[in-house]
């Protein structure tokens, strides 16, 4: 008589119920021997959950059953076979169809209606216990998170983990790298590709000791931990097989915020998010018309933006920068407001400006002509007026915040409602703070003077070694040094192959 012995154990099973491999093997062999088995074939799934039917040893056993290789199948307990009742019934049916007999060590199984009912009930109870364990684990994690403790050590770069208090501690060496990444993004307006290139050039070690890559930079810049908050219960992970799982984002109302030491302030973090979005909007794959100066060119005649317009054969069109008044439908019926400036060939202007920036980088003494006062009274007054309005709005929202806190103390509203409203108000206040900082920076920019030394330093940084720049890196370099390009075509020729002439006024950051 040939006996198939199936043994399965997972780490939790061994810890909680003593279902060790040795125990199951010993008991299964003894049971098979008592029944007269003369040969044993062992199938062992070590470390596999009984929640899924796709297990290596179980698959081998089922293949053997299909070939009718066994007389009896011995298993220590029904939940060793499967935790899922449907899976138990499927495998039991396969055993019966092969002509083998199913036997358990811990319980008596009879192939009768009553025995099958009892077996089914055991399977249902096993599945219920599994769900209870999962629910109890999740409840424990939520309770820990609500106490302000980290549920586990996520090994977040920039922090060390305090096991005693379940909290992160800032690692100053790594935190300095994180602050540098935020500075490169915000102050130097670098994209993730250029930041990783700069860190690798400086020989700064990446989190795992290898070279920096774009995805690592993006994860750091978008990680809320660095502004002082980690959200527990944000994602729900569901296993769909032994090596597969799906991850879903829970509704925001279920997230539990945990305060951790901040490495950058709120304004810096939100400024980085805005810069990332700006970089994304200007990225090559997201631009319908991909030109170096797209978004920077302004009409020198009327001061409005210039945008791309195509002309000629659709298979080989010629692209131009055209004044917005000649392109936008907003000016369709406003003939008097349409600018008469001529269109600018896009490719020619892009290369002219690129070459000019290279020339200035190589010859910084030529920069003096661009170090001019860039004051703009109209724009300055507009920004100041906006700042006053923002201040008034901030006062009103702060009053709302105080009212909600008073209502909570008076028990007019419960803690959950108060927390939800306060979180929304705090987001608005942070947004106002970020906008105020940006407008103040613009105000300082409008009322200050760009020094030749600052321009030279910026040009030297981005235009000294551009030989291997990708097209996206060339665009980023342009936007890192230029605020705008005022241009007007001044030649009077209209022939197809005529050489255009321009007046170009570069405005530097």
User: Could you give the residue numbers annotated as active site?
Assistant: 10
Whether the Cβ atoms of residue 279 and residue 295 lie closer than 8 Å to each other: no
Is 422 in a helix, a strand, or coil? helix
CA 134, 239, 91: angle at the middle one, nearest 5? 95
CA distance 476 to 282: 9
- Count Cβ atoms below 10 Å from residue 339 Cβ, excluding itself: 17
- Beta strands in 278-409, from DSSP E residues, in sequence order: 297-299, 306-311, 318-323, 344-345
Q: Are 263 and 179 in contact (CB under 8 A)?
A: yes
Q: What is the CA radius of gyration of the chain?
A: 34
In angstroms, the CA 206 to CA 216 distance is: 8
Exposed, middle or buried, 457 (CB in 10 Å: 0-12/13-18/19+)?
exposed
Contact 207, 240 (CB under 8 A): no
Give dist(CA 124, CA 38) in Å, integer. Answer: 34
Q: Quick one: residue 277, left, alpha or beta (phi over 0 = left, psi -120 to 50 = alpha)?
A: alpha
Contacts of 456 (CB under 8 A, 6+ apart): 360, 361, 364, 367
CA dihedral 405, 411, 416, 418 (to 10 degrees): -20
Q: In this structure, what token pair is assigned to residue 445?
A: 């920019």
Q: How many whole angstroms separate alpha carbon 45 and alpha carbon 13? A: 12
SS3 504: strand
d(CA 206, CA 243): 28
Q: Which residues pair with 306 in a beta bridge?
A: 323
Q: Which of 50, 9, 10, 3 is nearest to 31 (CA)?
A: 3
């Amino acid at each position: 008589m040939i006996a198939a012995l199936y043994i399965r154990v997972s780490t939790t099973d061994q810890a909680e119920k003593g279902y060790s491999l040795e125990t199951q093997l010993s008991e299964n062999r003894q049971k098979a021997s008592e029944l007269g088995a003369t040969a044993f074939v062992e199938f062992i799934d070590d470390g596999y959950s009984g929640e899924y039917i796709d297990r290596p040893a179980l698959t081998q056993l089922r293949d053997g059953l299909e070939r009718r290789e066994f007389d009896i199948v011995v298993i220590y307990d029904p939940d060793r076979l499967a935790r899922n009742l449907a899976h138990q019934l499927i495998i039991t049916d396969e055993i019966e169809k092969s002509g083998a007999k199913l036997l358990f060590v811990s319980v008596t199984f009879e192939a009768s209606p009553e025995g099958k009912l009892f077996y089914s009930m055991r399977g249902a109870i096993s599945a219920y216990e599994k769900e209870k364990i999962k629910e109890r684990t999740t409840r424990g994690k939520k309770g820990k998170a609500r106490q302000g403790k980290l549920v586990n050590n996520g090994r977040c770069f920039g922090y060390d983990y305090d096991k005693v208090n379940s909290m992160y501690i800032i690692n100053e060496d790594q935190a300095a790298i994180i602050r540098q990444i935020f500075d490169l993004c915000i102050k130097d307006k670098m994209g993730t590709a250029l930041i990783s290139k700069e860190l690798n050039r400086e020989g700064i070690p990446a989190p795992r000791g290898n070279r920096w890559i774009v995805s690592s930079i993006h994860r750091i810049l978008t990680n809320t931990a660095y502004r002082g908050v980690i959200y527990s219960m944000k994602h729900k992970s569901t296993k769909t097989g032994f090596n597969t799982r799906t991850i879903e984002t829970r509704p925001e109302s279920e997230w539990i915020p945990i305060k951790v030491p901040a490495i950058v302030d709120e304004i810096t973090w939100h400024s980085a998010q805005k810069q990332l979005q700006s970089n994304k909007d200007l990225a090559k794959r997201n631009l319908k018309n991909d030109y170096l100066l797209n978004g920077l060119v302004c009409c020198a005649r009327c001061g409005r933006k210039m945008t791309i317009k195509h002309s000629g054969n659709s298979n080989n069109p010629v692209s131009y920068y055209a004044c917005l008044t000649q392109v936008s439908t907003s000016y369709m019926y406003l003939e008097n407001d349409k600018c008469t400036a001529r269109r600018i060939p896009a490719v020619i202007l892009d290369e002219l400006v690129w070459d000019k920036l290279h020339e200035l980088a190589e010859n910084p003494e030529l920069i003096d002509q661009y170090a001019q006062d860039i004051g703009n009274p109209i724009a300055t007054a507009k920004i100041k007026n906006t700042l006053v309005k923002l201040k008034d709005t901030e006062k009103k929202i702060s009053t709302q915040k105080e009212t909600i806190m008073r209502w909570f103390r008076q028990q007019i509203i419960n803690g959950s409602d108060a927390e939800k409203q306060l979180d929304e108000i705090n987001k608005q206040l942070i947004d106002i703070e970020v906008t105020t900082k940006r407008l103040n920076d613009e105000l300082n920019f409008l009322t200050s003077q760009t020094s030749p030394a600052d321009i030279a330093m910026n040009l030297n940084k981005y235009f000294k070694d551009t030989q291997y720049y990708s097209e996206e890196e060339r665009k980023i370099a342009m936007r890192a040094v230029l605020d705008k390009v005022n241009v007007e075509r001044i030649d009077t020729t209209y022939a197809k192959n005529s050489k255009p002439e321009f007046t170009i006024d570069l405005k530097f950051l």
